[in-house]
Amino acid sequence: MSYQGTQITISLKNLKANLYYIKSKVDNTTKIMCVVKAFGYGSEPIKISKFLEKNGIDYFAVAYVNEGIVLRNSGIKLPILVLHPQIDDFDEIIKYNLEPNIYSFRILNAFIKKSKSHPFHLKFNTGLNRLGFSIDDIDKLYDILNGQGNIKFLLSHLGASEDKKEKNYTENQISLFEKISAEMENKFGISFKKHLLNTSGILNYSKFKYDMVRTGIGLYGYGNDKKFSKHLKPVLSLKSIISQIHSIKKGESVGYNRGFVAKTNCNVAIIPIGHADGISRRLGNGKVGFLIKNKIAKTVGNICMDMLMLDVTNISCKEGDEVTIIDDKVQTAEDLGEKINTISYEILTSLSSRIKRTIVNI
Ligand SMILES: *Cc1c(COP(=O)(O)O)cnc(C)c1O
């Protein structure tokens, strides 16, 4: 199959190892929800989800309804939570048997107009101040919902579960969630199932696993903490090739806006991947290097839309040789993110869908 020379490889073996590591942090009665939003964190959503479904998980989560429809159309049978539905989504949510995360009265009212029996998850805000009801909304929720709603789970979301310095904040979120849960159960006179923890929550606060945990980044091999790096294995690697090599003379320039002007004679390799593929323009001008023949070749000049240039003056290499951009050893997505003050999540999810994905079992 033809491709641009740049390839992403997805390791199912690493995915499985990560899933097992996450599972080892909770009881075997705790349900596992796998978060496959944003194209499976930039990897590939369908084959990954099918693989996870076969490996004993319980639930999927996506951000938007379209992502859930893609999973249903590919034959996924497990329940799918839609984290961020809008009022116009409910016909499709019901048609495709998706479960909405209900986070406001506006959304709740639109939803129960469509169905009073379709299952949903009820989201409370405990300090992240993103989506969710507040503890003061419980009476009104009861008035609207009493006897006519199918709340499958209560949930909230931690805002700093990876950050040791914010332990207090996280513990406050947890105790508020407990208080909300108790008030909900008291008011409604029944007990509810709950889920709270994301990956870093599972790794750092596993005691609060409740009935289910939600893992995203951990599945893909990142734990937001070097401590967990040896247990989690990056699932995605990104490689490219050298399209062409130029000998540049002292005084000549390379790339748009003459971003680089040679102080000495040098060799520059042209690589078929650019900012349109998710390699940020901020990584240009020597900010990062990629691996060629076991040596680091730094970026030269500005990153272009579809290509970038690397300094290969001191590397014996030729056109067609391999370039490693992200892998699980030399340079992870987290390492790359650190160079430009961002996180593995952004590096991974920025990788363009035009890059060919190959799924391997090793
Ligand atoms: C994205 C998301 C997750 C997954 O978080 P990770 O840090 O990737 O494990 C869990 N819960 C909610 C509400 C999310 O939006």
CATH number for the domain that contains residue 76: 3.20.20.10
Residue 6 lies in a domain: no
- Report residue 148's pLDDT band, with 50, 70 and 90 as the boundaries: confident
Output the residue whose Cα is nearest ligand 1's atom 4.
Answer: 216
pTM of the model: 0.96
pLDDT at residue 147 is higher than 80: no
Among residues 223, 247, 268, which one ends one of the domains? 223
| Ligand 1 centroid, distance to 263 Cα (angstroms) | 47
pLDDT for 229 equals 84
Q: Structure tokens of 230?
A: 């040896």
In terms of domains, do 85 and 61 share one?
yes
CATH assignment of the domain containing 306:
2.40.37.10
In the chain, the percentage of residues whose pLDDT exceeds 70 is 99
pLDDT for 187 equals 95
pLDDT in tens, 253-271: 999 999 999 999 999 999 9
Residue 7 lies in a domain: no
In terms of domains, do 203 and 75 share one?
yes
Beta carbon of 344 within 6 Å of any ligand 1 atom: no
* 256 in catalytic set: yes
- Report residue 3's pLDDT band, with 50, 70 and 90 as the boundaries: low
* 263 in catalytic set: no
Average pLDDT of the segment spanning 57-84: 98
Number of independent structural domains in the chain: 2
In terms of domains, do 34 and 158 share one?
yes
List the domain range (segments joined by +) for residue 18.
12-223
| Ligand 1 centroid, distance to 5 Cα (angstroms) | 32
Identify which of 59, 45, 52 has the alpha carbon closest to the alpha carbon of residue 17: 52
- Report residue 1's pLDDT band, with 50, 70 and 90 as the boundaries: very low
SS (H, E, C) the chain: CCCCCCEEEEEHHHHHHHHHHHHHCCCCCCEEEEECHHHHHCCCCHHHHHHHHHCCCCEEEECCHHHHHHHHHCCCCCCEEECCCCHHHHHHHHHCCCEEEECCHHHHHHHHHHCCCCEEEEEECCCCCCCCECHHHHHHHHHHHCCCCEEEEEECCCCCCCCHHHHHHHHHHHHHHHHHHHHHHHHHCCCCCEECCCHHHHHHCHHHCCCEEEECCCCCCCCCCHHHHCCCCCCEEEEEECCEEEEECCCCEECHHHCEECCCCEEEEEECCCHHHCCCHHHCCCCCEEEECCEEEEEECCCCCCCEEEECCCCCCCCCCEEEEECCCCCCHHHHHHHCCCCHHHHHHCCCCCCEEEEECC
In terms of domains, do 265 and 339 share one?
yes
In terms of domains, do 211 and 335 share one?
no
pLDDT in tens, 283-294: 999 999 999 999
Output the residue whose Cα is nearest ligand 1's atom 11.
Answer: 198
Beta carbon of 62 within 6 Å of any ligand 1 atom: no
Among residues 165, 197, 223, which one ends one of the domains? 223
pLDDT in tens, 23-47: 999 999 999 999 999 999 999 999 9
Beta carbon of 216 within 6 Å of any ligand 1 atom: yes
When the pLDDT of each residue in the chain is averaged and rounded to a whole number, the result is 97
Beta carbon of 199 within 6 Å of any ligand 1 atom: yes
pLDDT in tens, 306-338: 999 999 999 999 999 999 999 998 999 999 999
Q: Which atom of ligand 1 is nearest to the CA of 199?
A: 9
The Cα–Cα gap between 202 and 58 comes to 16
In terms of domains, do 283 and 216 share one?
no
In terms of domains, do 29 and 157 share one?
yes
pLDDT at residue 195 is higher than 80: yes
Higher pLDDT, 207 or 4: 207
Quick check: 319 and 246 in contact, CB under 8 A?
Answer: no
Residue 4 lies in a domain: no
Q: Which of 19, 99, 163, 214 is the best mutation target for the ligand 1 pocket, counting ligand atoms within 8 Å of the beta carbon and taking the most? A: 214
Average pLDDT of the segment spanning 346-362: 96
Q: Which atom of ligand 1 is nearest to the CA of 157?
A: 13
Average pLDDT of the segment spanning 173-202: 97
Beta carbon of 157 within 6 Å of any ligand 1 atom: yes
In terms of domains, do 195 and 47 share one?
yes
Average pLDDT of the segment spanning 93-106: 98
